[in-house]
Chain A
Amino acid sequence: MKSFTYERATSVEAAAKAAASHDAARFIAGGTNLLDLMKLEIETPTHLIDVNSLGLDTIEATPEGGLRIGALVRNTELAADERVRRDYGLLSRALLAGASGQLRNKATTAGNLLQRTRCPYFYDTNQPCNKRQPGSGCSAIDGFSRQLGIVGVSDSCIATHPSDMAIAMRALDAVIETVGADGAKRSIPIADFHRLPGDTPHIETELKKGEVITAVVLPKPIGGKHIYRKVRDRASYAFALISVGAVILPDGTGRVAVGGVAHKPWRLDTADAELPSGAGRVTRRLLLDAQPTEHNAYKVKLVERTLGAVLAEAKG
């Protein structure tokens, strides 16, 4: 871990300003991912801005009938919230499918969105990785890629976003609220929040330098059956090989987002539109441009079959 300076931010605006004024600042909340990355010198911030005392830890009803989830609401709290469990069951289930009880107690809503890939090559500083060290190359494409992405990938990077929560947020059309270094507020739909790797896999989100996430807003609930199905080698405490988050309405329409396949939660309107026609057609749409490797080609079939089971469950 490299030496760094540290401050406790006293306001969102001050935090944003402080972050913008340092070359390599990072916000720290739960620290469940950042600290590991710092120990391995994958992340080498020169300045840490602790945002834990900014409040932002409540879940409030919005006038539109949705929920505004403070950026610092812990995963445990969010999963247990009565309104979330009642109206956004998908979110609660996705959260509880992730990490461990201890980690969820620390991990925050904003931090979860910003967690970094678990590609093993990203974690080994001896190996080339365009995400860790732009321009150094990708070891994963011709290396061990069983866990990695199959769609939206590029010649530079096939990493996946590891979050379960984000899959639910994507299916629920969450909106991310931020405050920029200039004090300006923005609302970013989650569809636009995470980027595809392209030739800049080190740039993972649309956040600008210094920009602070203050809340994640869920629109008014749409009802339907909320199902999150995470598929993994062991029964708990593992990242998804793939996961399917779906909201299925009584008429068979709905939404589906898939995890473990791309650099961002993977959802397409064209695929959603096929939901009444079944898993095969949805998957063909979702994975139309899939470019799996030899190691992860199984994910194509796995997505289709898992989605099939999810749709059957929704009907049942």
Chain B
Amino acid sequence: MKFDTPATQNPIDRMTVVGKPIERIDGQMKTTGRAKYAYEWHDDAVPYAYGYPLGAAIAKGRIRAMDVTAASRAPGVIKIVTSDSMPDLKKAKRNTAKLFGGVDIHHYHQAVAVVVAETFEQARAAAHLIKVDYEESKGAFDLEASMDAAIKPKDGEPDSAAGDFAPAFETATVQLDQTYTTPDQSHAMMEPHASIAAWDGDALTVWTSSQMVDWWRSDLATALDMDKEKIHIMSPFIGGGFGSKLFLRSDAVLAALASREAGRPVKVALPRPFLMNNTTHRPATIQRIRIGAGQDGKITAIAHESWSGDLEGGGPEVAVQQTRLLYAGANRMTATRLAVLDLPEGNAMRAPGEAPGLMALEVAMDEMAEKLGQDPVAFRILNDTQVDPEKPEKAFSHRDLVGCMKLGAERFGWDKRNARPGTVQDGDWLVGMGVAAAFRNNMVMPSGARARLDREGVLTVETDMTDIGTGSYTIIAQTAAEMLGLPIDRVAVNLGDSRFPVSSGSGGQWGGNSATAGVYAACVKMREAIAAALGFNAENIDFADGMVISGDRRVPLAEAVKDKPLVVEDTIEYGDISEEKQQSTFGAHFVEVGVNIATGEPRIRRMLAVCAAGRILNPMTARSQVIGAMTMGVGGALSEELAVDKKRGFFVNHDLAGYEVPVHADIPHQEVIFMDETDPMSSPMKAKGVGELGLCGVAAAINNAVYNATGIRVRNYPVTLDKLIGALPQLS
């Protein structure tokens, strides 16, 4: 199905199943341990062997020699595959860091060997016995020191401009020129990357934890130099990804190579420290923001420049992205610059671009509001735009930032905020409120699905779509149930299998809308097939309560399949419509914090998010997405930082004891409100994404609240007590 005109009335609009807060249909399987995650696939009849990876002990250099003598003799060892025994594996286009092969070391914990043994413990013990002789070379590990050497990245739009920024800024009555930094961050999801690989002749099956099944299939084929069609990927359950599992990782490659060498199915899970130094992370940024406004508070000039680093051949963190679209202002510019750093690969993490970008921009807006003597909510509303400010002829498909701000302010009790910082105290706590806009672009991706109606009247949907904890299973079932007029328990959903039609996958908050739109397309075909089988005119037909209805004629759905099941397949594709209007999602985050007056510990007191993201397909799973994102935002604001050892070139705090994500005690109260809206430009579902929107702006709202509480402005994240303690008031 080609989606090239705005959606009109369609069966989803009935909202009898879609839009209902239905519990996850896979929830019981997960809570009772029956949902099998990648490493858990097990068949007693299969002689699995266990692979354990060894990571490079240096950040940059080459392997002079590897000695596996002792490791090979260790108990239970079946095979050791070393990087220096093979050329660099061919790098897939989506990977920056090489995953295996060759003698060159490009980053710390780059995989240099995998030991295969009868048990996990034997493999791990033997891996410690491998001796590697390295020749170390000097690397660059400090973003700030590398700023001057940063270049304009080849891809994307490193520069943007409209009007004439410089003179407009210079002549602006009120000016802000500040620099902010955000640190490297880790996805830190619960389930580490893990794969089981099994060969059958020249065919390979990999059970893995992938957000994007077809990308992994293609990229694994490239890495192994084999035919994609010979690879079968299974990824039906995923214990969190946040972007870390978008692109092929070393676990799948090592499992495949090890299995081929060992002649047995091999399981490989990446040890936790590998998550930080072997896989990808959100790169640190340095961001300079300049805003100029008239005394009336209208922005006349706005500039956002961002610097980040990556390995040679990598890409930048596009932290300026939202600044091109979020606020009005005739004179504007953005610039993105990229330095080469010899740290592990920087890449997408939940809301890449906007998440760190808004951490800076929305603090700058708060600072600007203060300079202007304006309320931060009012200042944002004043500078709202309904068109792309760089291309005023391009309108937003639907934009209700103002509605989010107004409703949020009312619900949160924003009017009780004292605009003078450092003046509200509750016992030992300085109390403050902060606000930030949430913004994330809405991307759409082609997505396919297959639908099968069997003689029992059960509709089965199959797509290689993944559920990374988001609720894909449930919203897909809701979509199919709505389309065919079935109760949800008559719909079965199978996901994450490369034998199914290629879907949008899960990433960039495009999965919910895109994958259900693909299911919608397949279900439209199914309705036609049912109509044809029953001799109905497909135009004037309705599906409800398990019946096919046309005028007075009502036939049970099962009638259509009494001779043979019906199977249809379709893919939603997008015409130019996604380019005609600017599609984005919007929100407002309100946060109240307390900062301990003695210690400077910042603690969340309550949070509210208001989201405008098109039709909400399931308010329960959508809420879960948003509160999870808000929690991640708390980590981003207050604790999460991969500490760079600038001398040795690696992330030092590479486990979950050192890399602190929020715990329950950090999250006392969260509330989420969804604006009641649809966006007919996004897809037949009229939905958009919320999974990343929920994160965008959270950290800035927290930081602004800390400022309101203390009068201390922290411009280098995370906002930890050591940055506050020197400026807190004297204790009596």
Q: How far is the CA of A302 from the CA of B726 in the complex (A)?
A: 9
Say whether A236 contacts B663, CB under 8 Å: yes
Say whether A231 contacts B124, CB under 8 Å: no
Say whether B273 contacts A312, CB under 8 Å: no
What 0/1 readout, one digit per residue, does chain B (102-139) give for beta carbons within 8 Å of chain A? 00000000000000000001001100100000000000
Say whether A1 contacts B599, CB under 8 Å: no
Q: What is the distance, in angstroms, from B426's C-beta to the closest C-beta of chain A?
A: 15
Q: Which of A240-269 contact B (CB under 8 A)?
A: 241
Query: Contacts A234-B638, A234-B662, A234-B666; is A302 near B599 (CB within 8 Å)?
Result: yes
Q: Does A309 contact B (CB under 8 A)?
A: yes
Residues of A within 8 A of B638 (CB): 233-234
Say whether B658 contacts A120, CB under 8 Å: yes
Q: What is the distance, in angstroms, from B110's C-beta to the closest C-beta of chain A?
A: 12
Q: Does A298 contact B (CB under 8 A)?
A: yes
Q: Does B46 contact A (CB under 8 A)?
A: no
Say whether B601 contacts A121, CB under 8 Å: no
- Interface segment among A18-26, A138-146, A171-179, A199-207: the answer is A138-146
Say whether A298 contacts B722, CB under 8 Å: yes
Residues of B within 8 A of A121 (CB): 652
Q: What is the distance, in angstroms, from B642's C-beta to the closest C-beta of chain A?
A: 10
Say whether B125 contacts A2, CB under 8 Å: yes
Q: Does B149 contact A (CB under 8 A)?
A: no
Say whether B639 contacts A146, CB under 8 Å: no
Q: What is the distance, in angstroms, from A93's C-beta to the closest C-beta of chain B?
A: 16
Residues of B within 8 A of A124 (CB): 273, 652, 654
Q: How far is the CA of A70 from the CA of B726 in the complex (A)?
A: 43
Say whether A235 contacts B731, CB under 8 Å: no
Say whether A235 contacts B643, CB under 8 Å: no
Say whether B660 contacts A238, CB under 8 Å: yes
What 0/1 readout, one digit per residue, does chain A (81-95) give for beta carbons within 8 Å of chain B? 000000000000000
Q: How far is the CA of A39 from the CA of B273 in the complex (A)?
A: 13
Say whether A306 contacts B658, CB under 8 Å: no
Say whether A302 contacts B725, CB under 8 Å: yes
Query: Contacts A234-B666, A235-B666, A309-B599; is A298 near B725 (CB within 8 Å)?
Result: yes
Minimum CB distance partner of A118 in chain B: B657
Q: Does A123 contact B (CB under 8 A)?
A: yes
Q: Does B229 contact A (CB under 8 A)?
A: no
Residues of B within 8 A of A146 (CB): 643, 722
Q: How far is the CA of A41 from the CA of B127 in the complex (A)?
A: 11
Q: Which of A299-316 contact B (CB under 8 A)?
A: 301-302, 305-306, 308-309, 312
Summarize B's interface: helix, strand, loop or mixed. loop
Residues of B within 8 A of A309 (CB): 428, 596-599, 731
Q: How far is the CA of A301 from the CA of B724 in the complex (A)?
A: 11
Q: How far is the CA of A196 from the CA of B663 in the complex (A)?
A: 33
Say whether A239 contacts B657, CB under 8 Å: yes
Minimum CB distance partner of B635 in chain A: A234
Q: Which of B627-653 contact A (CB under 8 A)?
A: 638-639, 643-645, 647-648, 652-653
Q: What is the distance, in angstroms, from A163's C-beta to the closest C-beta of chain B?
A: 15
Kindly identify which residue among B660, B721, B726, B728 contacts A231, using a CB–CB cutoff of 8 Å. B721
Residues of A within 8 A of B596 (CB): 309
Q: Does A102 contact B (CB under 8 A)?
A: no
Minimum CB distance partner of A121 in chain B: B652
Most buried by B among A39, A120, A146, A306: A120
Q: What is the distance, in angstroms, from B279's C-beta to the closest C-beta of chain A?
A: 17
Kindly identify which residue among A1, A120, A237, A305 contacts B728, using a CB–CB cutoff of 8 Å. A305
Residues of B within 8 A of A298 (CB): 721-722, 725-726
Say whether A139 contacts B603, CB under 8 Å: no
Residues of A within 8 A of B125 (CB): 1-3
Q: Which of A101-158 contact B (CB under 8 A)?
A: 118, 120-121, 123-127, 139, 142-144, 146
Q: What is the distance, in angstroms, from A112's C-beta to the closest C-beta of chain B?
A: 16
Say whether A301 contacts B725, CB under 8 Å: yes
Residues of A within 8 A of B652 (CB): 120-121, 124, 143-144
Q: How far is the CA of A301 from the CA of B660 in the complex (A)?
A: 23
Most buried by A among B121, B652, B718: B652
Q: How far is the CA of A231 from the CA of B728 in the complex (A)?
A: 16
Residues of B within 8 A of A3 (CB): 75, 125
Most buried by A among B600, B638, B718: B600
Say whether B721 contacts A127, CB under 8 Å: no
Residues of A within 8 A of B645 (CB): 139, 143-144
Q: Which of B658-679 contact A (CB under 8 A)?
A: 658, 660, 662-666
Kindly identify which residue among B121, B599, B666 contacts A306, using a CB–CB cutoff of 8 Å. B599
Query: Contacts A3-B125, A120-B652, A309-B731; is A237 near B663 (CB within 8 Å)?
Result: yes
Minimum CB distance partner of A44 in chain B: B128
Q: How far is the CA of A302 from the CA of B723 in the complex (A)?
A: 11
Query: Contacts A126-B57, A301-B726; is A235 near B665 (CB within 8 Å)?
Result: yes
Kindly identify which residue among A229, A233, A236, A308 contacts B639, using a CB–CB cutoff of 8 Å. A233
Say whether B653 contacts A144, CB under 8 Å: yes
Say whether B124 contacts A39, CB under 8 Å: yes
Q: How far is the CA of A120 from the CA of B638 in the complex (A)?
A: 20
Q: How far is the CA of A1 from the CA of B732 in the complex (A)?
A: 53
Q: How far is the CA of A124 from the CA of B18 in the complex (A)?
A: 50
Query: Contacts A144-B645, A233-B660, A298-B725; is A305 near B598 (CB within 8 Å)?
Result: yes
Q: What is the distance, in angstroms, from B601's C-beta to the closest C-beta of chain A?
A: 6
Q: Does B655 contact A (CB under 8 A)?
A: yes
Residues of B within 8 A of A236 (CB): 663-666
Say whether A142 contacts B647, CB under 8 Å: yes
Say whether B648 contacts A302, CB under 8 Å: no
Q: How far is the CA of A248 from the CA of B725 in the complex (A)?
A: 25
Q: Does B383 contact A (CB under 8 A)?
A: no
Q: How far is the CA of A126 from the CA of B644 in the complex (A)?
A: 16
Q: What is the distance, in angstroms, from A34's C-beta to the closest C-beta of chain B?
A: 15
Residues of A within 8 A of B643 (CB): 120, 144, 146
Q: What is the distance, in angstroms, from B726's C-beta to the closest C-beta of chain A?
A: 7
Residues of B within 8 A of A305 (CB): 598-600, 725, 728, 731
Q: How far is the CA of A232 from the CA of B598 in the complex (A)?
A: 13
Q: What is the distance, in angstroms, from A133's C-beta to the closest C-beta of chain B?
A: 13
Minimum CB distance partner of A232 in chain B: B601
Q: Does B720 contact A (CB under 8 A)?
A: yes
Residues of A within 8 A of B720 (CB): 233
Minimum CB distance partner of A239 in chain B: B657
Q: How far is the CA of A308 from the CA of B596 in the complex (A)?
A: 13
Say whether B647 contacts A302, CB under 8 Å: no
Minimum CB distance partner of B124 in chain A: A1
Q: How far is the CA of A239 from the CA of B639 in the complex (A)?
A: 13
Residues of B within 8 A of A118 (CB): 657-658
Q: How far is the CA of A127 from the CA of B645 in the complex (A)?
A: 11
Residues of B within 8 A of A127 (CB): 648
Q: What is the distance, in angstroms, from B651's C-beta to the closest C-beta of chain A?
A: 9
Residues of A within 8 A of B725 (CB): 298, 301-302, 305
Q: How far is the CA of A120 from the CA of B648 in the complex (A)?
A: 13
Residues of B within 8 A of A1 (CB): 121, 124-125
Q: Which of B66-88 contact A (CB under 8 A)?
A: 75
Most buried by A among B639, B643, B662: B643
Say whether B599 contacts A231, CB under 8 Å: yes
A-B contact pairs, 18 of them (CB 8 A): A2-B128, A3-B125, A39-B124, A118-B658, A120-B658, A143-B647, A143-B652, A144-B643, A146-B722, A231-B601, A232-B601, A234-B660, A235-B666, A241-B722, A298-B722, A301-B726, A302-B599, A305-B600
Q: Which A residues lie at the B interface, using CB under 8 A?
A: 1-3, 39, 41, 118, 120-121, 123-127, 139, 142-144, 146, 229, 231-239, 241, 279, 298, 301-302, 305-306, 308-309, 312
With A238-B663, A301-B725 given, name 11 new contacts (CB 8 A): A39-B124, A120-B653, A120-B658, A123-B658, A124-B273, A233-B718, A233-B720, A235-B665, A298-B721, A302-B721, A302-B722
Q: Which B residues lie at the A interface, using CB under 8 A?
A: 57-58, 75, 121, 124-125, 128, 273, 428, 596-601, 603, 638-639, 643-645, 647-648, 652-655, 657-658, 660, 662-666, 718, 720-722, 725-726, 728, 731-732
4 residue pairs, one from A and one from B, having the closest CB atoms? A309-B598, A298-B722, A235-B665, A126-B57
